[in-house]
A = this chain, B = another copy of it.
């Protein structure tokens, strides 16, 4: 199969690396902005060194300058350079994320603001566990929290957002907060009962009712409780902590309730789309809740959660009186970039309230959160039309404002270095209920009026450099259509182009076919490679696997061995993805999963051309066809 058949497509889609407002934010695949990067790095470095030098400038140096000429010092530097060259030689085998030839995982070159601010702050090495160890960067972190709260249209005065080392920890934290909140009313009632205080009408409710108080009502309820505590001469916060589920544990709390109320409650469940990230399964294990208490929600043929599945799960929980700790929506999922219909989840959740069941909604937007920027108008550009981005995506993102918490990872679509995740809690006051009692020894830091993040979050010591990196990136690339919105829209467009080209090639004669599974909603494209006329899923899986192995990360002696890089995933054969026309009729008896090639587009330079003049996309498609043909023939 020659190259000629691609000529038409190359021409039709002739793409040039036309300039884009955000190109300046990146070093570029050839290090195009190297002069600027060098200049900035040397600026922040000198600036830092002289800050150091000029603190008590008359204090003498730590060691005499002449010692730097001594034999041991000279030898030290010699060894340093040798060892460093070993490190940098090793690093030459790292995967070339920066290249338009890499479209495998959710990773790319980081932005210049991200890397420069990280480096600048790394030198100062602040620790955001407390503002005592980070005079500036804790403030930055809280500002970033507010920016995310605003992005999702939460009330920024009431929300509490902060960074985490990654999305996994952010999701754990959301679940941890949800558990605290779920049992708060019951804790209040239990604490008063334990102190032989009559319950106020707001708390004189059944166990089930107390397990279904919306977060929005908790603050007022606490005031009622506080008044009662004062009557008892007790501190409400302490009283509540001593009777909390954190204090008593999963088993102890339920036992206590059973004793006090004459009835317990069933194990709480978490409603989770089947496409949710695997860290959610782990979260249930880590938090002592048990994975068996995950109720898995069905997804549709584009891997989005089915809102009817959610609705009926909620109904079932209501009728069985199973408390729902948390329901999760995904925007978008890491495998396929699909965005759950969050608006419909919100509607179903609100409707269920009338059945007496309340579930907080958490949106796992670790991957997709920054796409919300496409729908926030900046000063210089408009929100994309429906032709560019389906209305349903915008509607889904808008509905996050009705949810209780959200995870968003700056180190994914925010183009900053690892590790930077984030979580935003819409009801920020909940943070007061996760703190530990009487911390005599908070890393030696106590009762400052200044923010002490370590009290309210899962983690302890954490890099202020990550906060500065995100904060500065947001200064340079705003969270609206002028900034990230424009960048991410261009990626969605590229994914669509990729998809269309792939679809168009299917009509070309040959022995194999690259079949996209569905039109991408964001910047992820999934496809299979099938021998034409395949009878069984096995042969499709085999060919797909061979193709992704050909373009996958492997042991190489030089990165020059990689021409293009893709990733892969798989879904169980009972997934609606297998309803695809190409797959429907296949014999799937021998297979348990469908193998899939996965493409994630984060690099705008993919719109350019290779040295041969063909666009990267065409060049890859031609090559992938060629390789697949060859595999089939050589078999």
Contacts and interface: CB of A to CB of B under 8 A. Distances in A.
A46 B120 CA distance: 18
A569 B439 CA distance: 10
Interface string A214-251: 00000000000000000000000000000011111111
A459 interface: yes
A290 B252 contact: yes
6 contacts: A30-B52, A30-B53, A80-B476, A91-B120, A91-B124, A278-B441
Contacts of A434: 285
A107 B461 CA distance: 11
A633 interface: no
B290 A335 contact: no
Contact of A441 (B275, B421, B446): B275
- Closest 7 CB pairs between A and B? A249-B290, A288-B288, A246-B285, A165-B165, A168-B460, A58-B611, A418-B463
A73 B560 CA distance: 31
A132 B104 CA distance: 10
Given A290-B250, A441-B277, A445-B567, A41 B45 contact: yes
Contacts of A468: 87, 91
Given A441-B277, A446-B569, A593-B440, A87 B120 contact: yes
A442 B570 CA distance: 10
A90 interface: yes
A119 interface: yes
Given A94-B134, A168-B461, A444-B335, A28 B61 contact: yes
Given A29-B52, A120-B87, A419-B463, A267 B285 contact: no
Contact of A88 (B44, B109, B133): B44
A76 B482 CA distance: 13
B84 A44 contact: yes
Contacts of A86: 475
Interface stretch (A110-118, A354-362, A384-392): A110-118
Contacts of A27: 49, 52
Nearest to A556: B135
A444 B31 contact: no
A291 B165 contact: no
A249 B126 CA distance: 38
Given A32-B62, A246-B291, A443-B334, A165 B462 contact: yes
A36 to B, nearest CB: 6
Contact of A165 (B140, B293, B459, B567): B459
Contact of A442 (B94, B278, B411): B278
Given A29-B61, A44-B88, A251-B254, 15 more contacts: A17-B61, A17-B62, A36-B77, A37-B49, A58-B611, A83-B475, A91-B121, A107-B127, A122-B122, A122-B417, A244-B285, A278-B442, A281-B436, A421-B461, A444-B567
B56 A45 contact: no
A94 B282 CA distance: 37
Nearest to A253: B290
Given A80-B40, A569-B440, A418 B290 contact: no
A571 interface: yes
A417 B125 contact: yes
B59 A610 contact: yes
B288 A289 contact: yes
A160 interface: no
Contacts of A572: 440
A33 interface: yes
B284 A249 contact: yes
Residue from A63, A86, A281, A409 with most neighbouring chain B CB atoms (10 Å): A63
A609 B60 contact: yes
Nearest to A112: B80
A611 to B, nearest CB: 4
Nearest to A29: B62
B569 A84 contact: no
- Sorting the interface of chain A by its residue count into under 10, 10 to 19, 20 to 34 or 35 or more gives 35 or more
Interface in A461-491: 461-465, 468, 471-472, 475-476
Copy number of this protein in the oligomer?
2
A171 B56 CA distance: 39
A568 B444 contact: yes
Contacts of A608: 60, 62
Interface stretch (A5-13, A18-26, A495-503): A18-26
A165 B553 contact: no
A304 B42 CA distance: 47
B247 A290 contact: yes
A176 B459 CA distance: 15
A552 B447 CA distance: 13
Interface stretch (A64-72, A314-322, A534-542): A64-72
A468 B21 CA distance: 34
Residue from A51, A251, A417, A459 with most neighbouring chain B CB atoms (10 Å): A251
Contacts of A289: 249-250, 288
A168 B459 contact: yes
Interface stretch (A95-103, A185-193, A579-587): A95-103
A441 B567 CA distance: 11
A84 B290 contact: no
A136 interface: yes
A598 interface: yes
A42 B44 CA distance: 13
Interface in A243-287: 244-254, 267, 275, 277-279, 281-282, 284-287
A47 interface: yes
